C-alpha cells in the first residue's frame, strides 16, 4: 500500500471514471452482450505474474464496459434508480481508504458515532418522531439493502414475540404484505423460519390504486386468528416497486395495533421524497410503526449501497442479533454508553457507510437535496404531459413521485392496425414495444404487470437526466410505436 503509487494509480482511476461520465451517452444504455460473453474474452486462470494498471484499465474499457448496463446514463429509466454523486463517490473513497471495520464502538469510535449522528440528522429531515431517533429512545442503522432491513426487523419481531409466547409457536406466526409488496418480505420470512403457508399477499385493486386496504388486512388477520394462527409482522410500502403505490400508513398501523403486530414501513424508493414537506404526508402515521427504512442509494444521491433503517426499540434488534464472543469484549461495551452496531445486523463486519452519507448531506444541504428530488418529479409531470398529447397512449396508474407507468392503450386504432379492446393484445403490444426500446440501446425501461395490465415503467431519478433526455426518450417511444402501429395521424 505504497502511498505514492496509490496517488498515481488513484489519479488514473479518477480520470477513467470522469471520462466515463463524460462519454456515458455514447454507450447503449442496456448492455447488448450475449450470456457468457466475458468468458470468451477473459483468460481461464488468474495471471501468475503481476500486470500493470494501464493494461487492466484497457481491459475494463474493452471488455467490462460493453457488459455494463449504464445505470448512470441519463437515459436509464428502468427499475428504480441507483444514484451517485461526487460527494458520495468521494465518501466511498474515504470509506474504502480508511477501511475500518466498525462492528462495535471500540473497533472505530468515529464510524459508530458518525452513523448515530447522520441517522438522527436524516431522521429529523424526514420528520420522524423522536421515538425513532437516538435522541429519543430509538435509533438508526445503515444497512446494505432493504432486504437486510426487512430481514432484521422480521427476526427482531419474531424473537420478541416468541420470547413471550414460546418458541414452539413459530409455526403459527403470520407475516402480512400486499400483492405489491417487494419480494424481500418473502425472502425474509423464509430465512426467519416463518411457515411458507403463512406469508400473506393481500390482494390490491386498481380502484384502490394498488394500495393495501386496511379493511382487507383486517379480514385476513381475523380469518388467520380464527384458524389458530398468530399475526406477527406487517410490511407496508410507501412507493411500491411495480407502480409507486402508497399503502395508507396510519390506518394500517391502527389495524396492526389492534392485534399487536410489528409494522415496518418500506419506503425504499419514495422515502427520499419525504424529506420535502410537500411529500411528507405520504408517511403520516409512521409514529405508530415499529420500524421504517429507505434507500438513499436509490434516489438521494448516495452511491450503492446504503439503506437507512430506524427502529423505535433497538433492544428488539439487539436481543435478536447480539452475541457474546470473548474476543469482542471491551470496556466501552460494558459501560452501556455506546452502540455496537454488530448487534443491529446479520454480519459482524461493517463498512463505514456513514461517511458517504455525511458527505452527501453536507455537500448538498437539505435545500439542494429537496430541489434535486423536486426536479425529477417535475420532469415526470412533463413526461406525463407528453403522453397526454398522443392519444395512442395512456398513463395506467396515478403518479405520485417520479415514476410514470404508461402503455399503448388498448383503444389505440391506427392505420387499420388495431390494438383491440382486449387487454391481452395490448399487453403483447406493450411487451413488444419495450423489447424494441431496450434492444435499441437508446433508452432503458422496465415493465410491471399490475391487475393484469402490462405497463412500461418510466422512472426518472438519475442525476444526469435533464428535460432534453426526457423529450428524446419520448421521441424514441413514439418512433418505435410508429413502426409498430403506423404513424399517428392527428
Q: Which residues bind ligand PLP (CB under 6 A)?
A: 80, 145-147, 182, 184, 237, 239-241, 266, 268-269, 295, 307
Contacts of 119 (CB under 8 A, 6+ apart): 133, 134, 139, 140, 141, 142, 308, 310, 354
* CB of residue 72 to ligand PLP, shortest distance in Å: 17
* CB of residue 199 to ligand PLP, shortest distance in Å: 15
Helix extents (H) in 132-200:
146-165, 184-191
* Cα 218 to Cα 202: distance, rounded to the nearest angstrom: 10
Cβ 112 vs Cβ 355: under 8 Å: no
Which of 266, 343 has the CB closer to ligand PLP?
Answer: 266
Which of 132, 269 has the CB closer to ligand PLP?
Answer: 269
Cβ 241 vs Cβ 270: under 8 Å: no
Q: Which residue has the cell 437535496?
A: 369
Query: What DSSP character marks residue 211?
Result: P
Stretch (H or E) spanning 470: helix 467-485
Closest alpha carbon to 294 in 73, 85, 78, 119? 119
Which of 156, 268 has the CB closer to ligand PLP?
Answer: 268
* CB of residue 79 to ligand PLP, shortest distance in Å: 6
Which of 85, 146 has the CB closer to ligand PLP?
Answer: 146
CB neighbours (10 Å) of residue 162?
17
Stretch (H or E) spanning 377: helix 354-388
Query: What CA–CA distances, in Å, run from 105 to 330, 332, 340, 350, 446?
Result: 9, 7, 5, 12, 42
* CB of residue 205 to ligand PLP, shortest distance in Å: 19
* CB of residue 249 to ligand PLP, shortest distance in Å: 14
Which of 182, 200 has the CB closer to ligand PLP?
Answer: 182
Which of 146, 333 has the CB closer to ligand PLP?
Answer: 146
Query: What DSSP character marks residue 147?
Result: H
Which of 269, 341 has the CB closer to ligand PLP?
Answer: 269
* CB of residue 175 to ligand PLP, shortest distance in Å: 15
* CB of residue 59 to ligand PLP, shortest distance in Å: 29
Closest alpha carbon to 476 in 97, 7, 131, 28? 28
Contacts of 195 (CB under 8 A, 6+ apart): 170, 171, 172, 173
* CB of residue 282 to ligand PLP, shortest distance in Å: 13
Q: What values do phi and psi take at 426, rounded to 5?
A: -60, -40
* CB of residue 216 to ligand PLP, shortest distance in Å: 19
Which of 230, 235 has the CB closer to ligand PLP?
Answer: 235
CB neighbours (10 Å) of residue 99?
11
* CB of residue 121 to ligand PLP, shortest distance in Å: 21
* CB of residue 106 to ligand PLP, shortest distance in Å: 29
Which of 107, 235 has the CB closer to ligand PLP?
Answer: 235
Which of 373, 412 has the CB closer to ligand PLP?
Answer: 373
Extract the runs of DSSP E, i.e. beta strands, from 95-155.
Answer: 139-143
- Residue whose CB is nearest to ligand PLP in the complex, by number: 145
By CB neighbour count within 10 A (0-12 exposed, 13-18 middle, 19+ buried), where does 97 fall?
A: middle
**Antiparallel, parallel or unpaired: β 291-294 and 262-266:** parallel
Which of 240, 409 has the CB closer to ligand PLP?
Answer: 240
Q: What values do phi and psi take at 246, rounded to 5?
A: -120, 115
Cβ 273 vs Cβ 399: under 8 Å: no
Amino acid at each position: 500500500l505504497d502511498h505514492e503509487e496509490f496517488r498515481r494509480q488513484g489519479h488514473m482511476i479518477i480520470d477513467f471514471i470522469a471520462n466515463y461520465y463524460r462519454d456515458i451517452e455514447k454507450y447503449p444504455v442496456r448492455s447488448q452482450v450475449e450470456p457468457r460473453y466475458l468468458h470468451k474474452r477473459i483468460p481461464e486462470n488468474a495471471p501468475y505474474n503481476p500486470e500493470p494498471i494501464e493494461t487492466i484499465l484497457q481491459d475494463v474499457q474493452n471488455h467490462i464496459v460493453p457488459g455494463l448496463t449504464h445505470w448512470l446514463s441519463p437515459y436509464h429509466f428502468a427499475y428504480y434508480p441507483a444514484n451517485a454523486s461526487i460527494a458520495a463517490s468521494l465518501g466511498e473513497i474515504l470509506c474504502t481508504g480508511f477501511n475500518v471495520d466498525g462492528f462495535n464502538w471500540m473497533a472505530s469510535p468515529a464510524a459508530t458515532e458518525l452513523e448515530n449522528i447522520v441517522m438522527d440528522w436524516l431522521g429529523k429531515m424526514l420528520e420522524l418522531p423522536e421515538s425513532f431517533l437516538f435522541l429519543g429512545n430509538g435509533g438508526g442503522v445503515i444497512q446494505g439493502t432493504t432486504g437486510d432491513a426487512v430481514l432484521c426487523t422480521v427476526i427482531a419481531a419474531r424473537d420478541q414475540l416468541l420470547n413471550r409466547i414460546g418458541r414452539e409457536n413459530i409455526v403459527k406466526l403470520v407475516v402480512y404484505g400486499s400483492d405489491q409488496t417487494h419480494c424481500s418480505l418473502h425472502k425474509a420470512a423464509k430465512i426467519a423460519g416463518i411457515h411458507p403457508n403463512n406469508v400473506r399477499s393481500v390482494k390490491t385493486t386498481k380502484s384502490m390504486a394498488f394500495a393495501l386496504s386496511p379493511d382487507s388486512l383486517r379480514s385476513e388477520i381475523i380469518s388467520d386468528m380464527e384458524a389458530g394462527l398468530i399475526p406477527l409482522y406487517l410490511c407496508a410500502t410507501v412507493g411500491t416497486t411495480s407502480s409507486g403505490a402508497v399503502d395508507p400508513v396510519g390506518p394500517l398501523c391502527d389495524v396492526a395495533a389492534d392485534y399487536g403486530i410489528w409494522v415496518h414501513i418500506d419506503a425504499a424508493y419514495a422515502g427520499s421524497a419525504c424529506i420535502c414537506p410537500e411529500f411528507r404526508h405520504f408517511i403520516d402515521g409512521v409514529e405508530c410503526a415499529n420500524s421504517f427504512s429507505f434507500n438513499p442509494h436509490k434516489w438521494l444521491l448516495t452511491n450503492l449501497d446504503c439503506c437507512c433503517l430506524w427502529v423505535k426499540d433497538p433492544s428488539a434488534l439487539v436481543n435478536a442479533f447480539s452475541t457474546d464472543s470473548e474476543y469482542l469484549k471491551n470496556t466501552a461495551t460494558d459501560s452501556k454508553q455506546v452502540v455496537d452496531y454488530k448487534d443491529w445486523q446479520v454480519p459482524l463486519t461493517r463498512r463505514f457507510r456513514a461517511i458517504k452519507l455525511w458527505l452527501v448531506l453536507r455537500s448538498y444541504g437539505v435545500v439542494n437535496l429537496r430541489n434535486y428530488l423536486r426536479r425529477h418529479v417535475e420532469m415526470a409531470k412533463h413526461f406525463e404531459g407528453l403522453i397526454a398529447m398522443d392519444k395512442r397512449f395512456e398513463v395506467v396508474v396515478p403518479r405520485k413521485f417520479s415514476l410514470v407507468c404508461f402503455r399503448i392503450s388498448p383503444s389505440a386504432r391506427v392505420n387499420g392496425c388495431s390494438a383491440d379492446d382486449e387487454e391481452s393484445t395490448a399487453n403483447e403490444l406493450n411487451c413488444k414495444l419495450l423489447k424494441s426500446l431496450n434492444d435499441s440501446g437508446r433508452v432503458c425501461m422496465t415493465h410491471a404487470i399490475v391487475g393484469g395490465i402490462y405497463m412500461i415503467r418510466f422512472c426518472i431519478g438519475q442525476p444526469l437526466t435533464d428535460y432534453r433526455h426526457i423529450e428524446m426518450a419520448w421521441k424514441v417511444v413514439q418512433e418505435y410505436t410508429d413502426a409498430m402501429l403506423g404513424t399517428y395521424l392527428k
